[in-house]
Amino acid sequence: MQALRQFYLSRYYKKSMYGLLGLGFVGAMLLISTKIRRQQQKQKSLDHLQSNELSTQGTIFNSLDKCSLSNLNQVRTLKTSIKLEIDFKQQIIQGRVILTMKAINDIVKVQLDAKMLNVLQVKVNNEDTTFNYRQQLVQELGDQLEITTQKQANEEFQIEIIYQTQQNVHNGQVALNWLQPSQTFGNKHPFLFTQSEAIYARSLFPCQDSPSIKSTFDIELTVPEPLKAYGSGILVKETKDGNNNTFYFNQPVAIPAYLFAICAGDLEKKQISDRTYVIAEPALVNKCSQEFQDMESYLQAIENYLTPYKWSQYTVVVLPKAFPFGGMENPNLTFLSPSLIVGDKSETSVVIHEMIHSWSGNSMTCQNWECFWLNEGITTFIENKIVGRIFGQNQQTLHGLLGDNSLKNSINNYGPTHTYTSLSPKIDQQNPDDCFSAIPYQKGCQYLRFLESLIGENLFQQFIRLVVSQYTLNSDQFKALLEKFLNENNISGIDIQWQSWIIDPGMPKNQLNIDQQFKDRYETLANNLYESQLQLEDFQNLHSNEKCYILDLLGNKQITEKLMKDLEEEYQLFDSNNPEILHRVLIYGINCGYKVALGDKLSQFLSMNGRMKFINPVYRALAQKQPELGLRIFNMYKNSYHSIAVAQIQKMFQK
């Protein structure tokens, strides 16, 4: 086409037109020129779309997702074949990805999300193609790989990209977390894991990094002996070649890029039931299998409330302590923090939560990060139900109350008018990490409870089943689905209070409805503890959720030196092996300058944990009360935290 266009514009062409050519040739040229003109017009209209429609931050790249630099409206990925060779020595990955794509309309280019990648070669349908790698096109979102290629509407084609990841010398925020042997439990072998949600898949491979685009995956991972590698799919084959092991996985269900995950290290796999498995370092795998022994019954309880589990196997990996979350719902490969291994199964609600994402999030996926509540709020709502069915009504109520406390904390942190306290926050070319908090989880969950109270439990269960059967949803589509459902079930005259729950910022107007007697019981326990009247044995017999709730209630009182001394000496909470408890006590101690909370116990806690839910609020308290100490400890341990955590904690000390 390019050659023809040049020919068409050349002097030689004009001469020949006036000279020798007969009618047939003229006709042919006319046809070609019309085609070229049409093509030019199309190009103009694409340029128009891309330069004229501005978001508040700048150019809009597509109308589906303001956190993606890909032309999602014009082309979509159907299948991803990815091959990664993991080089622990250099801490880089050699990658090759083949994206099978389909043009939605006539296109002249494919734009992909990328971040900190060295792209070496690009082929379209096996032919070398020119490309342009734009670094930091939008600072918060990363790079863009633009590939020039003309395709017609509905045409399918393959893009093959050979690339490398870069050594992360400047601690940029990326998915990969490389660990030294000393950062593992076994102390012998290096380790690698990824965290792609929300917008870090683009640092693993060039892709359409938006939850609105879903693709099936073939994954091939090569690691040196004796290490093992796992990917977010079903293991289909493993081979050995000299000093290398290669593992092949297939993900037959179309998933968004943020659910792509790998991990590699000295790992062992144990079967728990027909379809559930635990993977962990050899030194930990037995303990982990015990903690998660009941996974099959959780899965069945969820299937009972929802629909059959469609991903065949369910496997969890317990990662080293640097893992920045409690859990991450990577399909067929849920990642878990080792902080959940407390010995009494009291933290297993995180596993239940991640399992539920197999429906809400991984089957029905939020269309973009402004409607993230559809992933997390729905999951938290179902989690609460399942906790009730498995552990009883009291645990369910407590679970809800603890969630409500975290909601209040988060709204307090942002201030009640901040857009991030809305379930439709404005995230315009920003990193969705900035607005990550308990709000989409708890406000979202409470909204669903509110809706359930309007139409009754049975009918609402049907609605939730309908919701999780969708492919992707945004908030407006959720609303339309709800209204249609209500209509079809002849329910009229109810007010779903959309504006107040979904659009408005701040605390929900309808407060959680909890039995006063239930609350009073814990108020009394907290008062007794505050007045040194609570017997040690009575405290010890409580479930860790009850202890946490009581500790939260103490936060309404003045935290005194005497109370801290009781918590330390009488109840021995500074020795708790449960970080849910320990981080609460440390924060109280930091806030009132209690010595024990500023010494070894503190630095040990911050060196032993990388989970942001715990270390972030501790660092936040330090940044406010003891910034020098906080910064000193942070500098000591930051190399062992994930780059996502490092970025967030760094910000606290800059304010």
Q: According to CB under 6 A, which one of 151, 353, 443, 583 is a site residue for ligand BES? A: 353
Q: Is 546 a catalytic residue?
A: no
Measured between its terminal Cα atoms, the distance across the chain in Å is 55
CB of 225 to Zn ion, least distance (A): 35
Q: Which is nearer to Zn ion, 217 or 381 (CB)?
A: 381
Copy the structure tokens of residue 150: 């003309």
Q: Nearest 5 degrees, angle CA 153-CA 155-CA 158?
A: 135
Residue 248's DSSP bridge partners are 220, 237
Q: Nearest 5 degrees, angle CA 479-CA 485-CA 491?
A: 105
DSSP string, 63-84: SS-TT--S-TTTEEEEEEEEEE
Instruction: Please state, in angstroms and rounded to a whole number, the distance separating the CA atoms of residues 605 and 644.
Output: 19
Q: Which is nearer to Zn ion, 407 or 567 (CB)?
A: 407
Q: Is 537 a catalytic residue?
A: no
| Residues from 368 through 387 that contact ligand BES (CB under 6 A) | 376
* 354 contacts ligand BES (rule: CB under 6 A): yes
Residue 194's DSSP bridge partners are 176
Stretch that binds ligand BES, among 346-354, 409-417, 452-460, 485-493 (CB under 6 A): 346-354
Q: According to CB under 6 A, which one of 113, 160, 197, 218 is a site residue for ligand BES? A: 197
How many Cβ atoms from other residues are within 10 Å of residue 154's Cβ? 10
Cβ distance 653 to 630 under 8 Å?
yes
Q: According to CB under 6 A, which one of 115, 151, 399, 613 is a site residue for ligand BES? A: 613
Q: Which is nearer to ligand BES, 198 or 423 (CB)?
A: 198
HSE-up (13 A, CA, CB side) for residue 389: 16
Non-local CB neighbours of 291 within 8 Å, separated by 6+ positions:
340, 341, 342, 343, 345, 348
Stretch that binds ligand BES, among 272-280, 323-331, 410-418, 504-512 (CB under 6 A): 323-331
623 binds, among ligand BES, Zn ion, none (CB under 5 to 8 A by kind): none
The answer to whether 399 is a known ligand-binding residue is no
Instruction: Please state, in angstroms and rounded to a whole number, the distance separating the CA atoms of residues 279 and 272.
Output: 10
573 binds, among Zn ion, ligand BES, none (CB under 5 to 8 A by kind): none
HSE-up (13 A, CA, CB side) for residue 619: 29
CB of 197 to ligand BES, least distance (A): 4
198 binds, among ligand BES, Zn ion, none (CB under 5 to 8 A by kind): ligand BES
Q: Nearest 5 degrees, angle CA 381-CA 382-CA 385?
A: 95
Cβ distance 195 to 642 under 8 Å?
yes
Helical H runs in 53-146? Answer: none
CB of 276 to ligand BES, least distance (A): 18
Q: According to CB under 6 A, which one of 265, 327, 331, 508 is a site residue for ligand BES? A: 327
* 357 contacts ligand BES (rule: CB under 6 A): yes
Beta strand pairing call for 156-165 and 92-103: antiparallel
Encoded amino acid at 180, one letter: Q
In the β-sheet with 268-271, what is the strand arrangement from edge to edge?
268-271, 276-280, 314-318, 334-336, 327-328
Q: Which is nearer to ligand BES, 95 or 377 (CB)?
A: 377
266 binds, among Zn ion, ligand BES, none (CB under 5 to 8 A by kind): none
Nearest to 443 by CA among 483, 480, 414: 414
- 296: helix, coil or strand? helix
* 329 contacts ligand BES (rule: CB under 6 A): yes
Cβ distance 230 to 267 under 8 Å?
yes
Instruction: Please state, in angstroms and rounded to a whole number, the distance separating the CA atoms of residues 157 and 126.
Output: 10
Q: Which is nearer to Zn ion, 376 or 452 (CB)?
A: 376
* 504 contacts ligand BES (rule: CB under 6 A): no
Instruction: Please state, in angstroms and rounded to a whole number, the distance separating the CA atoms of residues 568 and 134.
Output: 55
Copy the structure tokens of residue 87: 């080089």
Instruction: Please state, in angstroms and rounded to a whole number, the distance separating the CA atoms of residues 509 and 504.
Output: 10
The answer to whether 85 is a known ligand-binding residue is no
How many Cβ atoms from other residues are within 10 Å of residue 524's Cβ? 13
User: Which listed residue (230, 258, 298, 441) is catalytic?
Assistant: 441
416 exposed, middle or buried (CB, 10 Å; 0-12, 13-18, 19+)?
exposed
Q: Which is nearer to ligand BES, 327 or 425 (CB)?
A: 327
The answer to whether 156 is a known ligand-binding residue is no
* 583 contacts ligand BES (rule: CB under 6 A): no
Q: How many binding residues for ligand BES (CB under 6 A)?
A: 15
The answer to whether 327 is a known ligand-binding residue is yes
User: Which listed residue (220, 354, 546, 580) is catalytic?
Assistant: 354
373 exposed, middle or buried (CB, 10 Å; 0-12, 13-18, 19+)?
buried
Stretch that binds Zn ion, among 270-278, 283-291, 376-384, 614-622 (CB under 5 A): 376-384
The answer to whether 329 is a known ligand-binding residue is yes
The answer to whether 531 is a known ligand-binding residue is no
Q: According to CB under 6 A, which one of 328, 573, 615, 621 is a site residue for ligand BES? A: 328
Stretch that binds ligand BES, among 349-357, 540-548, 557-565, 635-643 (CB under 6 A): 349-357
Q: Which is nearer to Zn ion, 146 or 376 (CB)?
A: 376
Q: Which is nearer to ligand BES, 340 or 553 (CB)?
A: 340
Q: According to CB under 6 A, which one of 69, 279, 350, 587 is a site residue for ligand BES? A: 350
Which positions make up the binding site for a peptide?
195-197, 324-329, 611-613
Query: Catalytic residue numbers?
Result: 354, 441
Residues forming contacts to ligand BES in the complex (CB under 6 A) are 197-198, 325-329, 350, 353-354, 357, 376, 436, 441, 613
Which positions make up the binding site?
195-197, 324-329, 353, 357, 376, 611-613
Which positions make up the binding site for Zn(2+)?
353, 357, 376
Residues forming contacts to Zn ion in the complex (CB under 5 A) are 376
